[in-house]
Structure 1
Amino acid sequence: MNRLPACCAPLQNHWPLPRPIPGAVLVSCAFDPARLGNDDFDRANIERTASLQRSVAKRQAEYLAGRVCARAALQQLDGREYVPGTHEDRSPLWPAGISGSITHGKGWAAAVVAHQTACRGLGLDQESLLSDERATRLAREILTEAELQRMDPQHTGLVVTLTFSLKESLFKALYPIVLQRFYFEHAEVLEWSADGHARLRLLTDLSPQWHHGRELEAQFCLQGEQLLSLVAV
């Protein structure tokens, strides 16, 4: 029997983003690494690998919370009992025919899943809002020259955090499809609006279908000092 780990708050089955994705399910939970119990992995019936056993409590708790959310999302999607394993590149190993994504940040984890007939790829990412000072230091590592020129200096922290998160979500959505790594300089955020809509463009060729100039829609929301973004293909 699967029980909720002591480090996890009750699961939430909700859609915090502005626009639902037909056929997709999102489950989240708050978690506290300080409450991680020695038997939490056993309680949840989730394997604690050798590398996880060597990890600090924060890493163990965020992994556990993310997998608990992923299993619950899959159960709601089609009733299956499945905990995603981990590829050698550390990405989640989803069942055949399933697209999914897991994210975890400061005390919060979430997973989104869908059948590939509904979504070929899903990328979900959560980030803590950067201060304007830190965002200014990091901007040139994350933003292209065009993005830097378009950036409103009055919202540096939000723009840099949002750009980082959207590009992370884009990578998570496309990597399982193209099986090719790409980086911050290989995509740009063309526009975003306060209602949570954003649009991105690829700046590199990843495959014949996913080529330089291909544009994708994205969405995001703010939850206090946390930003959540999603790219669905």
Structure 2
Amino acid sequence: MPAMHMPPFCQLHNDLPALLPGTCLVQARFDPAQLQAEDFGRCNVPPVRGVAKRQAEHLAGRLCARSALHGLCGQALIPGRDADGVPIWPAGISGSISHGHGQAAALVALSRDWRSLGIDLEQQLPPERATRLAAEILTTNELQRSGGLSPAEFAQRVTLTFSLKESLFKALFPLVRRRFYFHDAELLEVDGEQARLRLLLDLHHEWPSGSELDGHYRSQADSLLSLVAI
């Protein structure tokens, strides 16, 4: 097996507690300004088109996935991408990748344990921006349930709702192959680092309107990591 080359633009963090039993999580911080054109080839990752930020996000996400797969099953593999942009994982593996704002993460598991995974890594929205975006992210019921929150608490709720719905999409889209949007699901409750979401449309005979799914999240120093696992 070729050496797992790690370019200087990206620093991995592998010693992270699992979000769920049977999963392997790897996160990274990266600096697009330090990305070199040769880094893709040295890492055996096919390059992607786009500006340096887009290229760095993609490579950092794939390096997280490679390290997570190595930790899970001892194989340092790079997932490909299908026509919808969904990662193509090795047989018997499920996983998810997230990246943005100089951070990336990948979570993998054996598909016999977890059929599908969706993770999302977000920076905390400031109160002013959260207020501007709230109506695009939150349903009418979610807005009503958030009525008594302080501006800082409301910003945290908008960020969490955004992230969990992103994770929900990533977990379900590979199974149903149908796009859905922020107002097609709602956050019902939050308890500690656990959450409960409900679909508001029929996605599939297995996932009709009213289906409820568990979410998980972890607050970090300057970001929020959320997960929906099936």
Q: Which position in structure 2 is the counterpart of 1:15? A: 17
Secondary structure of the 1:62 match is helix
Q: Which position in structure 2 is the counterpart of 1:39? A: 38
Return the letter of the residue paired with 1:80: Q
Gaps of 5+ in 2: none
Residues of 2 paired with 1:138 and 1:157: CA distance?
A: 10
Q: Which position in structure 1 is the counterpart of 2:200? A: 203
Return the letter of the residue paired with 2:211: R
Q: Which position in structure 2 is the counterpart of 1:98? A: 93
Q: Post-superposition shift, 1:92?
A: 1.2
Residues of 2 paired with 1:172 and 1:66: CA distance?
A: 15
Q: Which position in structure 1 is the counterpart of 2:73? A: 78
Residues of 1 paired with 2:86 and 2:229: CA distance?
A: 17
Q: Which runs of 4+ in 1 moved over 4 A?
A: none
Match runs of 1:1-233 below 5 Å: 1-15=3-17, 20-48=19-47, 52=48, 54-151=49-146, 152-154=148-150, 155-193=153-191, 195-233=192-230
Identity %: 53
Normalised TM-score (structure 2)? 0.93
Return the letter of the residue paired with 2:164: L
Gaps of 5+ in 1: none
Residues of 2 paired with 1:145 and 1:96: CA distance?
A: 41
Secondary structure of the 1:27 match is strand
Secondary structure of the 1:13 match is coil
Return the letter of the residue paired with 1:156: F
Q: What whole-Å deviation, never above 9, does each CA across 1:181-223 have from its counterpart, x for those lacking one? A: 1111111000113x21111011111112211111111111111
Conservation of the 8 A alpha-carbon contact between 2:26 and 2:105: yes
Q: Post-superposition shift, 1:225?
A: 2.6
Return the letter of the residue paired with 2:62: R
Return the letter of the residue paired with 1:187: A
Secondary structure of the 2:59 match is helix
Residues of 2 paired with 1:10 and 1:196: CA distance?
A: 24
Structure with the larger RCO, 1 or 2 (CA within 8 Å, 6+ apart):
1
Q: What whole-Å deviation, never above 9, does each CA across 1:92-126 have from its counterpart, x for those lacking one? A: 11123221100112211110011111001100001
Conservation of the 8 A alpha-carbon contact between 2:13 and 2:28: yes
Normalised TM-score (structure 1)? 0.92
Return the letter of the residue paired with 2:177: L
Residues of 2 paired with 1:208 and 1:42: CA distance?
A: 43
Secondary structure of the 2:10 match is coil
Q: What whole-Å deviation, never above 9, does each CA across 1:29-76 have from its counterpart, x for those lacking one? A: 11111111222112222121xxx2x41111111111100110111112
Residues of 2 paired with 1:10 and 1:172: CA distance?
A: 23
Residues of 1 paired with 2:44 and 2:15: CA distance?
A: 20
